[in-house]
Amino acid sequence: TAPTSVRLAVIPGDGIGPEVVNEGLKVLNAAVGNEVSFETTEYDLGARLWHKTGETLPDSVLAEIRQHDVILLGAIGDPGVPSGVLERGLLLRLRFTLDHYVNLRPARLYPGVTSPLAPHVLENGLDFVVVREGTEGPYVGNGGAVRTGTPHEIATEVSVNTAFGIDRVVRDAFRRAAARPRKHLTLVHKHNVLTHAGHLWRRTVEAVNAEFPDVTTDYLHVDAATIFMVQNPGRFDVIVTDNLFGDIITDIAGAIAGGIGLAASGNINPDRSAAPSMFEPVHGSAPDIAGQGKADPTATVLSVGMLLEHIGLDKAAQKVEQAVAEDLAARGDRVRTTSEIGEAIASRLA
Ligand code: NAI
Ligand code: MG
């Protein structure tokens, strides 16, 4: 059922983050009109806060953010902050503590958008979604280093895979596959080499498949998946994969579907009441073009569409996607500023 009021936490972040979020919110407001009241709280997290206080995500702020229904994030990252500080301290901390176990990344080639792939490769279309596990795998920080800086240094980075964690993300992927016309799910892993984790993933997919008999499944090693993604992306419908593999293949997916300016994502906790999910463009803070009005806000606008769908505002979500599709079809080679693109999409919703 559609909500009548929504508490939205906004984290504009660094670089182009505030610029693209501004346009995302314009489109959100145009899409929901007066039907739903959005109560928006903005949080100034990222490089500015770190430079001011040395903090990335104070506990009190995290507790406040938890009280919201959903989060919209721009981008985090700044050349003046040591690498990893904001990524681990803010972005990953949000994803882990809010238990965003589904990292959802759709890849769809909209009419009017140029893919770097040759036309004959795209004969079977390009419309798939990657369900990337978001809370386990090699990204949990389970590791350490000893004898650092010596020739005898040892560094470990242990991939953590739990039956519980795999089961819940695989189930989510099956549900999404079952709701799509082609009803096909591909498991991507590397179970010939990473046998321990790989076999757990494979057995889990087999077991859950019994509950979704309409869904067909297949399996690809991650290296083979990269070949198919550039030689026949039309074979994919829903992909389920672990945290690291998902990170890598979704960059390819973004590139073949028209580039970083269009790639949207959701960090989702499907057990809606447990914690707010977070929607954000895949791209980073792009310090090279920040403050110049050059950033394409479309990835953020599409992320807003995913956000609306997640909170049950399906009609508004469809309107956003439709408006983006129309804008992309009419876009051509025109160079427009960030706000010109945002205005153009929003005005199609008015
Ligand atoms: P980036 O995605 O910020 O930029 C890569 C290239 O794409 C740049 O040339 C940039 O100008 C361009 N680009 C990115 N978004 C664009 C947009 N909307 N429109 C037009 N062009 C766009 O990745 P980069 O340069 O590796 O990282 C910059 C900072 O962002 C780093 O601090 C990094 O850690 C952080 N980062 C943060 C992410 C997040 O907040 N989720 C994701 C990726 C990187
Ligand atoms: Mg990445």
Atom of ligand 1 minimally distant from the CA of 286: 3
- The response to whether residue 24 sits with its C-beta less than 6 Å from ligand 1 reads no
Region 314-325: mean pLDDT is 97
Atom of ligand 1 minimally distant from the CA of 75: 40
Ligand having the closest approach to the CA of 265: 1
Does residue 302 lie within any of the structural domains? yes
Question: Quick one: 207 and 275 in the same domain?
Answer: no
Please report which helix (H) or strand (E) contains residue 124, including its range.
none
Region 9-30: mean pLDDT is 98
105 among annotated binding-site residues: yes
Q: What is the pLDDT of residue 71?
A: 98
Report which DSSP code applies to 84: T
End position of a domain, from candidates 225, 257, 289: 257
The single residue of 190, 237, 242, 319 carrying the catalytic annotation is: 190
- The response to whether residue 9 sits with its C-beta less than 6 Å from ligand 1 reads no
Question: Quick one: 289 and 215 in the same domain?
Answer: no
Q: What is the pLDDT of residue 318?
A: 97
Q: What is the pLDDT of residue 33?
A: 87
Residue 116 has pLDDT above 80, yes or no: yes
Region 56-76: mean pLDDT is 97
Encode pLDDT of 275-291 as tens digits: 999 999 999 999 999 99
Q: What is the pLDDT of residue 243?
A: 96
Question: Quick one: 275 and 349 in the same domain?
Answer: yes
> What domain count does the chain have?
2
Region 162-178: mean pLDDT is 98
Does residue 174 lie within any of the structural domains? yes
Encode pLDDT of 227-251 as tens digits: 999 999 999 999 999 999 999 999 9
> What is the whole-number distance in angstroms between the Cα of residue 287 and the centre of ligand 1?
7
Q: What is the pLDDT of residue 34?
A: 87
48 among annotated binding-site residues: no
Report which DSSP code applies to 305: H
User: Alpha helix locations (H) across the chain?
Assistant: 17-32, 47-53, 59-66, 85-86, 93-97, 163-178, 195-209, 222-231, 243-256, 298-310, 314-331, 338-347
CATH number at residue 208: 3.40.50
Region 197-220: mean pLDDT is 98
Q: What is the pLDDT of residue 57?
A: 97
Q: Is 139 a catalytic residue?
A: yes
- The response to whether residue 278 sits with its C-beta less than 6 Å from ligand 1 reads no
What ipTM does this complex have? Answer: 0.97
Encoding tokens for residue 28? 């959100």
Q: Which of 92-96, 215-219, 336-340 has the lowest mean pLDDT?
A: 92-96
> What is the whole-number distance in angstroms between the Cα of residue 130 and the centre of ligand 1?
20
End position of a domain, from candidates 257, 273, 297: 257
The whole domain housing 225 covers: 115-127+137-142+160-257
Question: Quick one: 203 and 298 in the same domain?
Answer: no
The single residue of 101, 127, 139, 319 carrying the catalytic annotation is: 139
Residues 6 or more apart whose CB falls under 8 angstroms from that of 333 comprise none
- The response to whether residue 290 sits with its C-beta less than 6 Å from ligand 1 reads no
Q: Is 190 a catalytic residue?
A: yes
> What is the whole-number distance in angstroms between the Cα of residue 72 and the centre of ligand 1?
17
288 among annotated binding-site residues: yes
Residue type present at position 231:
Q
Q: What is the pLDDT of residue 272?
A: 77
End position of a domain, from candidates 222, 239, 257: 257
- The response to whether residue 289 sits with its C-beta less than 6 Å from ligand 1 reads yes
- The response to whether residue 75 sits with its C-beta less than 6 Å from ligand 1 reads yes
**Using 50, 70 and 90 to split pLDDT, how confident is the model at 274?**
confident
C-alpha distances in Å from residue 193, one per residue of 150, 250, 311? 30, 22, 40
- The string over 65-86, giving b where at least 16 C-beta atoms fall within 10 Å of a residue's C-beta and e elsewhere, is beebbbbbbbbbbbeebeeeeb
**CB neighbour class for 220 (10 Å; exposed up to 12, middle 13-18, buried from 19):** buried
Please report which helix (H) or strand (E) contains residue 349, including its range.
none
Encode pLDDT of 174-183 as tens digits: 999 999 999 9
284 among annotated binding-site residues: yes
Confirm if 24 and 301 have CB atoms less than 8 A apart: yes
The single residue of 101, 247, 319, 327 carrying the catalytic annotation is: 247
